[in-house]
Chain A
Amino acid sequence: MDQSVITPVDAAGSLRHVRADFPILGQKVHGRDLVFLDSAASAQKPRQVIDCMAETMRTQYANIHRGLYWMSERTTEAYEAVRDQVARFLGAAAREEIVFTRNSTEAINLVAHSYGGLLKPGQVVLVSEMEHHANLVPWQMLRDRTGIELRITPITDDGALDMEALEANLADGRVALVAITHMSNVLGTITDARAIIDMAHAAGAKVLLDGSQLAVHRRVNVQELGADFYVVTGHKLYGPTGIGVLWARRELLEAMPPFLGGGDMISTVSFERSTWANVPHKFEAGTPAIIETIGLGAALAYIESIGFDAIGAHEDALTAYALEALGHVNGLKVIGTAPQRGGVISFTMKDVHPHDIATLLDRNGIAVRAGHHCAEPLMRRLGVTATARASFGIYTTPEEIDFLAATLEQIRGFFV
């Protein structure tokens, strides 16, 4: 391969030094160096996150919001400080717009249950053909529960959202909510959120963006976008599992009924009736993921210490490099070629099933995902049953891409 292609990666502020922050990257798998190319499923964790969570448990842990003692008050402060941090991270207008959930899936379910419960039969929720099951199944459940209509906007053959079809789908004015991914976990496509939002608002619809993938790679500003709901998940943001975020405009949250009932989400409780706490606490029933939330704070601080300029430049260069390198592998076909895309590359190989690819890559220390990527309807649209998928993080190097491409070439030789 032309080594000069590596140059932009290094010019982009060389993130190579960040590898030292990720202890797991020093592990061996089947006696080989780990080459982790499955960050889109879940990213690895820097020592800053690991240490912060361990330190919290060692020195500063108690339940929050109710303890009257020093330790509980300090833990509450640390927990609530992350809400401020997330509000800044997403460009929210106020900290009260940040609701902590378990993950993006739960955040979307919260909206489907709570905001969705305000919708009337005949109103429409519109999703796209490239949604993760997390942004499809909750709306199907809402449809079956309430009689709303679920409408699907197609994608183009290169894997971009079909904007003309979107406009047509909005035309009858019955769409109450457009729920669309900000970046596809299969195709890598980055959707034109601004255009989608303008179009939807012009038709009187609110917009939920599933930012699970995008928020890892690009700066998000929900106010600049003009979005109504935005969801992200901590474990893809180099943070722990068990913590996700729903951002929504305050007036929407205030109009929505609670999702789960229990402690912490109430104002007063009697046997006859209960009243709800103010937002965002109305949506946070029970003891939350305290340590994980504090860990998410460490992850966001880590990301911001690197900066999205460097992260975006690294990823753009790496993605271009990988598309070039994979393009040279015999029989390999990249699935999804939209012009606006991030570092998630799905592919198939002639004569080799994606599961065989994944198992044989694993024997060489390379971790990729294979299967339908929680997007079965999209797989059917693409005419495949499964794909292999390589996805990149801030620690991914061009050398790892080279090793992937060379190993794929060898695997293909093995089967033909």
Chain B
Amino acid sequence: MAQDDLYRTVVLERAKAPQYAGPLSAATLNGQGSNPLCGDRVQLHAVLDGQGRIEAIRHETRGCAICAASADLMAGRVTGQDRAHVGRLHAELVEAVETGMAPEGLGELSAFAPLHQHRSRRRCALLPWSALIDMLNDDKDR
């Protein structure tokens, strides 16, 4: 069977055995994003520290392997980071999925670069990120 770079081991592993999935009882921030076109849904729960950095984050994802892996890899990657850094990572991920070229420093998130060949699936990887950014922005506006 012809496989796809998109379904690299890291994506399949994190979809099957996520490291950051589940509720977070101490959460002070909760957000969610959904894709009405496919029914995928990501719920996020986070705690920020005094400097506005993400101290802990968990996700509850109902969706495809790309969406689930993206949420889990995102959670690992943004822990300890502030809103500005999350914004930069998101911009780099968007660039990767649109061009197929992963900017240096994207690390494991570069697994999603093959999405440039799958236009209709890009939103699957980006959904957790837009949910996170919305959640952080809502917190800032409060």
> Which residues of A are interface residues toward B (Cβ below 8 A)?
30-32, 352-356, 359-360, 363-364, 370-372, 379, 385-386, 407, 410-411, 414-415
| Contact string against A for B residues 30-47, beta-carbon threshold 8 Å, 1 for contact and 0 otherwise | 000000011110000000
Known: A372-B39, A410-B1. A359 touches B121 (CB 8 A): yes
Q: Is the CB of A414 within 8 A of B12?
A: yes
Known: A359-B6, A379-B39. A415 touches B1 (CB 8 A): no
A353 to B63, CA, bound (A): 7
Nearest opposing residue in chain A for B62, CB measure = A385
A353 to B68, CA, bound (A): 10
A204 to B7, CA, bound (A): 57
Q: Is the CB of B16 within 8 A of A359?
A: no
Most buried by A among B1, B37, B40, B63: B1
Known: A30-B2, A385-B39. A414 touches B7 (CB 8 A): yes
B62 proximity list for chain A (CB < 8 A): 385
Q: Is the CB of B65 within 8 A of A415?
A: yes
B16 proximity list for chain A (CB < 8 A): 415
A385 to B124, CA, bound (A): 14
A411 to B3, CA, bound (A): 9
Most buried by B among A356, A386, A414: A356
A352 proximity list for chain B (CB < 8 A): 65
B124 proximity list for chain A (CB < 8 A): 355
- Please pick, from B7, B38, B65, the residue contacting A371 in the complex, using a CB distance under 8 A: B38
A360 proximity list for chain B (CB < 8 A): 1, 3-4, 7
21 sample A-B contacts, Cβ–Cβ < 8 Å, listed by A number: A353-B63, A355-B38, A355-B66, A356-B7, A356-B64, A359-B6, A359-B118, A359-B121, A360-B4, A363-B2, A363-B4, A371-B38, A371-B39, A372-B39, A385-B39, A385-B40, A386-B38, A414-B7, A414-B12, A415-B16, A415-B65
A353 proximity list for chain B (CB < 8 A): 63-65
A415 proximity list for chain B (CB < 8 A): 12, 16, 65
Q: Is the CB of A356 within 8 A of B1?
A: no
A386 proximity list for chain B (CB < 8 A): 38-39
| Contact string against A for B residues 1-27, beta-carbon threshold 8 Å, 1 for contact and 0 otherwise | 111101100001000100000000000
A379 to B37, CA, bound (A): 12
A404 to chain B, nearest CB (A): 12
B30 to chain A, nearest CB (A): 21
Q: Is the CB of A356 within 8 A of B65?
A: yes
Nearest opposing residue in chain A for B117, CB measure = A30
B4 to chain A, nearest CB (A): 5
| Contact string against A for B residues 104-118, beta-carbon threshold 8 Å, 1 for contact and 0 otherwise | 000000000000001
A386 to B35, CA, bound (A): 12
Q: Is the CB of A356 within 8 A of B66?
A: yes
A152 to chain B, nearest CB (A): 20
B64 proximity list for chain A (CB < 8 A): 353-356
Known: A353-B65, A386-B38. A411 touches B121 (CB 8 A): no
- Given pairs A352-B65, A353-B63, 10 additional interface contacts (CB within 8 A): A356-B64, A371-B37, A372-B38, A379-B39, A385-B39, A386-B38, A410-B1, A414-B1, A414-B12, A415-B12
Nearest opposing residue in chain B for A408, CB measure = B1
B56 to chain A, nearest CB (A): 27
A363 proximity list for chain B (CB < 8 A): 2-4
B2 proximity list for chain A (CB < 8 A): 30-32, 363-364
Q: Is the CB of A411 within 8 A of B39?
A: no
B9 to chain A, nearest CB (A): 11
- Please pick, from A30, A32, A355, the residue contacting B121 in the complex, using a CB distance under 8 A: A355
User: 4 shortest A-B CB distances, which residue pairs?
Assistant: A385-B39, A353-B64, A355-B64, A410-B1
A27 to chain B, nearest CB (A): 16
